Chains A and B, each alone.
Chain A
């Protein structure tokens, strides 16, 4: 064991400072929720209250935004999971040169800023006579969320042992049967994970929604408008709820992911398989 040197102490102090920088703002926001001050703040402390939760629950706009966000989220899952799966299957069967080009086009929405995806969706559909609204938010968000699904499914497809498919065809199975009985079960874990990812991506999307929403509001639009104008601690109350749900959801997802990985490992004795790329969650809110 090396003794603690000056640089060890320095790096530890730096780590403490870094994690304080990372986590303290969340603490401040949570604490400000319970301050009875009219504005969201922790200084000065004017007494402890839970009235901002009541204020939040009595705001019809919040409920409208929440319901709209849920609708959009489910719609995005229904659009992006089938499209992303189809795109991955097509890409998986393309020849080398075409494949490189099509791959570049398909991942381009992931590198395109969310505002620009929103703007191009708005302009394109406006030219076709379709105005902004929740439906356009679904289309805009699906444009890049489909790319995530495509990558997740493609990663799984590339490890598929095709002899199963061929054996089934040789034994007289029809093509749709092969798809339903072999491919779909094989892709199931990726599809479930992709669906969950797509929903949360959609739920917290702001940039693309901002331009495509028309006059409809989603929960993020509601939060942004309150943050920018209303300045009420009711937003903090919403923050506390979302932080709680997020942590519960994150832990749940992690447990699910580990279970899937463990199941696959047991089945194939290849413990290093990364069934669902953990990175997909990390790059998740790029928009």
Chain B
């Protein structure tokens, strides 16, 4: 602080601090705090807000879990959606990691340098296209009369067209496609720093290829795996458009539930509580991954 005044003078330093405060307080910290506070209010009409009924309550949070009957295996709708979101996002994260790993290894270490530039460009191009449009492309591909079914029928792999868009399959494919590069680049960055002589030494000593990856490359790539997993999981869990376009009412996502409580149910406090639960889910995932893989915040925000 003192240094700031010393370097830029009183007027400029004060302006800089004021501008920073506007951003940090008015656009980041206070909105979170107000949303948190709001989520503990009952949903009352405008007239009764601040009245005697306006007491702090946990009911907006409890409503996600109320009606869980483990004995009969009955789950309330919102909770079922919440579980599906966790499970689906985890699956997308894992699929992305498996799909990316061979490509990342190849681009970081195996490919010739003159190829790498072109391949990286090919990776980035689809990434620059709007997520909604990329999702829409999959809608066309997976449609009942679409090219995928035509191709599979033509090759004799299917007897009759498959309804890709009525189960979770379309959502998982669409999300993997939408977020895969958030796994790819951290992986490439991490593997790139590996000293290739370690791999050559292992190879010379007769280690089979899978052992080289298990014992050398994957442990070295841990920070990349952590960052990629965090990015993909958070993006998948908070995705709205992919499940909205490629899913069906039976595959609703938690973000859609939140939207419905806000704009169709007109229950903002409950929507806020659910948003907070979603945020909590992401924070828990981020912290667990940071702990398991031993990486810090500065590694992630690169």
CB proximity of B127 to chain A, nearest CB, Å? 7
Residue numbers in B under 8 Å from A93 (CB-CB): 1, 3-4, 7
B 203-235 to A, binary, CB cutoff 8 A, 1 in contact else 0? 000000100000000000000000000110011
Residue of A nearest to B102 (CB): A14
Is B248 interfacial (CB-CB < 8 Å)? no
* A208-B28 Cα distance, complex, nearest whole Å: 13
B132 with A83: CB separation less than 8 A: no
CB proximity of B32 to chain A, nearest CB, Å? 5
A90 with B133: CB separation less than 8 A: no
A86 with B133: CB separation less than 8 A: no
Among A47-55, A117-125, A186-194, A261-269, the stretch that binds chain B is: A117-125
A179 with B8: CB separation less than 8 A: yes
B231 with A286: CB separation less than 8 A: yes
B9 with A176: CB separation less than 8 A: yes
- The number of inter-chain residue pairs (CB within 8 angstroms) is 253
Given that A83-B22, A90-B4, A282-B185 are known contacts, is A228 also in contact with B126, CB under 8 Å in the complex?
no
Given that A11-B102, A111-B282 are known contacts, is A119 also in contact with B19, CB under 8 Å in the complex?
no
Interface size class of B (residues with CB under 8 A): 35 or more
Residue of A nearest to B3 (CB): A93
CB proximity of B124 to chain A, nearest CB, Å? 7
Residue of B nearest to A27 (CB): B137
B 246-276 to A, binary, CB cutoff 8 A, 1 in contact else 0? 0000000001001100100000100110010
* A231-B22 Cα distance, complex, nearest whole Å: 42
A105 with B28: CB separation less than 8 A: yes
Given that A105-B28, A113-B278, A206-B240 are known contacts, is A282 also in contact with B181, CB under 8 Å in the complex?
yes
Residue numbers in A under 8 Å from B300 (CB-CB): 111
A239 with B133: CB separation less than 8 A: yes
Interface size on A, residues (CB 8 A): 93
Is B146 interfacial (CB-CB < 8 Å)? yes
Is B286 interfacial (CB-CB < 8 Å)? yes
Is A96 interfacial (CB-CB < 8 Å)? no
A41 with B140: CB separation less than 8 A: yes
| Given A41-B146, A124-B35, 15 additional A-B pairs, CB 8 A | A11-B102, A15-B103, A15-B119, A43-B150, A83-B23, A87-B24, A111-B286, A119-B258, A123-B35, A123-B38, A179-B12, A207-B238, A227-B139, A239-B133, A282-B127
Residue contacts A-B, CB under 8 angstroms, 15 given: A15-B103, A19-B119, A23-B125, A40-B136, A43-B147, A93-B3, A113-B235, A115-B259, A116-B278, A122-B262, A224-B132, A239-B130, A242-B129, A250-B128, A286-B231
What residues make up the interface of B, taking CB atoms closer than 8 Å to A?
Answer: 1, 3-4, 7-9, 11-12, 15-17, 19-20, 22-24, 27-32, 34-35, 38, 99, 102-103, 106, 110, 119, 122-141, 143, 145-147, 150, 177, 180-182, 185, 189, 209, 230-231, 234-235, 237-238, 240-241, 244-245, 255, 258-259, 262, 268, 271-272, 275, 278-279, 282, 286, 297-298, 300-302
